[in-house]
Amino acid sequence: TYVLADSRIYVYDRVNIVDVLHLHANQLIIGLCLVGDNLVSYDVDNIIKIYNVKKRVLKSTIKPLSLNTNTNSSKDTITRIIHPPTHVNKILIAYESGNLELWNVKNKAMIYRFKSHLQSHSQRHKKKNKNNHDTPQTSASSCVLVVVENAPEVDIVGLGFEDGTIM
């Protein structure tokens, strides 16, 4: 069992701590994802570490170059990484902006980038004002992607946004 606390990852065997991993040099770790024999962890600086749990070695480091296309900010924070169960050595990286990237962790290559759905999401939340003009009710910057989960159907994921919208 793997448990993260601040910048450390604790490895448990039942109730005993058998190892403590310091992979992110005192950076706050946001999450973990197990992909086969690899433990994928990611921190607040969007640095992804891939640790082989059988060999107990750090295999590689990935620093995705994702840009936030919805704002003027050049930083787009990773909110979640999941492993699509039918894809070998693949992870899906989700960003606050709604962008998604499919990566191969074995060769550290981005396979595909899915553009954010936030633009279309904010278009659906427009309301007519008294002059019959559209007035946005939510801006793309206030609608943040916070949850990504695998669906029971192959190659489908569910997206949950901060405002409660589910896609």
Model confidence band, residue 26 (pLDDT cutoffs 50, 70, 90): confident
Question: Residue type for 100, please?
Answer: L
Residue spans of alpha helices (H) in 11-147 = 118-124
- 3-class secondary structure, 15: coil
Q: In the block, which residue shows the tokens 């050049």?
A: 74
Give pLDDT tens digits for 32-90: 999 999 999 999 999 999 999 999 999 999 988 654 444 444 578 999 999 999 999 99
The per-residue pLDDT for 76 is 86
Residues in the chain: 167
Q: Under a CB-based contact definition with an 8 Å cutoff, are residues 100 and 117 in contact?
A: no
CA-to-CA dists, residue 146 to 55, 72, 123, 165, angstroms? 33, 20, 20, 10
The per-residue pLDDT for 68 is 44
The per-residue pLDDT for 140 is 46
Give pLDDT tens digits for 121-167: 555 555 444 555 554 444 444 578 899 999 999 999 999 999 898 88
- For 130, the token pair is 């008294």
* Predicted model pTM: 0.80
Give pLDDT tens digits for 65-78: 654 444 444 578 99
Distance CA 46, CA 29 (A): 9
- For 122, the token pair is 């904010």
